[in-house]
Amino acid sequence: MSKKHFFLIFFGLTILLPLVIYSYFLTPPSVQEARINTSIQYQGATEGQYSDYVTLSGQLTEQESGNALSGKTIKFVLGTQEVSATTNSQGIAQTTMKLSQNPGNYNLLTIFEGDDIYYGSSDTIQFQIKKEDTSISYTGPLSGTEDSTITLSATLSEIDDEVGNLSGKNIKFKLGPLQTSATTNSSGKASTTLRLDVSPGTYTLKTEFLGDGYYLSSNASRNFTVKEKCGHCGGGGGGGGGCFIATAAYGSPLEQDVVILRKFRDEYLEKTPVGRGLVDLYYKYSPPVAKRIAQNSFLKKTTRIALKPAIQIVKKKFFK
């Protein structure tokens, strides 16, 4: 080797070697060495109902050693919804998500995006969002006089405490051959009017929600009494109330004693299950009795005398 070649080699090493060493110590560990592979496994819920909260959970570990990785951010992506959580000392990240999307089947992705030391990893499972259960309750009157117009009402609710959007739901009311419908407001309440264009008697009143893309169906049934409208009793509807015996005895629904008894019926009896049952029985069997009283002056007088003690008790106990 000539002196010229030796000099060039020596000069090159003198200049380049410090640069290589300097560059090595300035390079981050992530570049000096290969990053470590990771593994993530989903461990949470795999189904839930619309509007409910579900718990999502995943565990992050080193792929080869199985050591748990703490302090790492994990994302859970379900359709258009996304939440994140940080791993604990056991490598587990856990959080909740309220299911606000259409019921159906989705891919749930559990994702660790990686960092300077660790490669990212992900896990995918099938997740099902189911329709939510509902409950419906009828809240309107359970009796009315034939040919009168009444207000039917109902409340649609969810069985659990997590409530979604209950507005705009169609509620059907079926009373014997009659039917009508109404739409719920933001509180799940619906009301409408119905003319009792049927013969007197007891009918099944069915309140029904047929369900939709988010909610399952529900229904409720109650007995509804249509009272006879009897003109000879001195006024039907709210006055005589289907041949109200007191109206027949006094001859007018405007008599003070008749008003007291009617007020007692409306303000006390109709507001309790037992009271409503008594009223329904009364209107079932009273029409022929009231009709006979209305046609006989002696029976009118006798009935007024018989009603006096009851009227006095009602006045004293309930309307002081």
pTM for this predicted structure: 0.61
Q: Is residue 6 part of a domain?
A: no
Q: Is residue 57 part of a domain?
A: yes
The predicted pLDDT at position 259 comes to 83
- The count of structural domains within the chain is 3
Q: Is residue 18 part of a domain?
A: no
Which of 175, 210, 227 lies at the terminal end of a domain, its last residue? 227
72 and 50, same domain (yes or no): yes
pLDDT of residue 151 exceeding 80: yes
220 and 245, same domain (yes or no): no
223 and 239, same domain (yes or no): no
- The Cα–Cα gap between 47 and 50 comes to 10
pLDDT of residue 283 exceeding 90: no
Helices (H) and strands (E) in the chain, counts: 7, 16
137 and 220, same domain (yes or no): yes
Give me the domain span that covers residue 160. Answer: 132-227
250 and 214, same domain (yes or no): no
Which of 192, 227, 262 lies at the terminal end of a domain, its last residue? 227
Q: Is residue 11 part of a domain?
A: no
User: Residues 285, 288, 290, 292: is their CA dihedral positive or negative?
Assistant: negative
280 and 315, same domain (yes or no): yes
Which CATH number belongs to the domain containing residue 186 in this structure?
2.60.40.10
112 and 152, same domain (yes or no): no
Residue 12: pLDDT band (50, 70, 90) is low
The predicted pLDDT at position 47 comes to 97
Which of 76, 107, 130 lies at the terminal end of a domain, its last residue? 130
Q: What is the mean pLDDT of residues 29-51?
A: 86
Q: Is residue 17 part of a domain?
A: no
137 and 201, same domain (yes or no): yes
- The Cα–Cα gap between 57 and 264 comes to 60
pLDDT of residue 5 exceeding 70: no
Q: Is residue 50 part of a domain?
A: yes
Q: What is the mean pLDDT of residues 78-86?
A: 97
Q: What is the mean pLDDT of residues 216-220?
A: 97
244 and 215, same domain (yes or no): no
Q: Which is higher by pLDDT, 91 or 250?
A: 91
Q: Is residue 26 part of a domain?
A: no
Q: Is residue 292 part of a domain?
A: yes
122 and 104, same domain (yes or no): yes
* Per-residue pLDDT tens over the stretch 114-135: 999 999 999 999 999 999 999 9
Kindly give, in sequence order, each residue whose CB lies less than 8 Å from that of residue 74, ignoring residues fewer than 6 positions away.
Answer: 40, 58, 60, 84, 85, 86, 87, 93, 110, 111, 112
pLDDT of residue 192 exceeding 50: yes
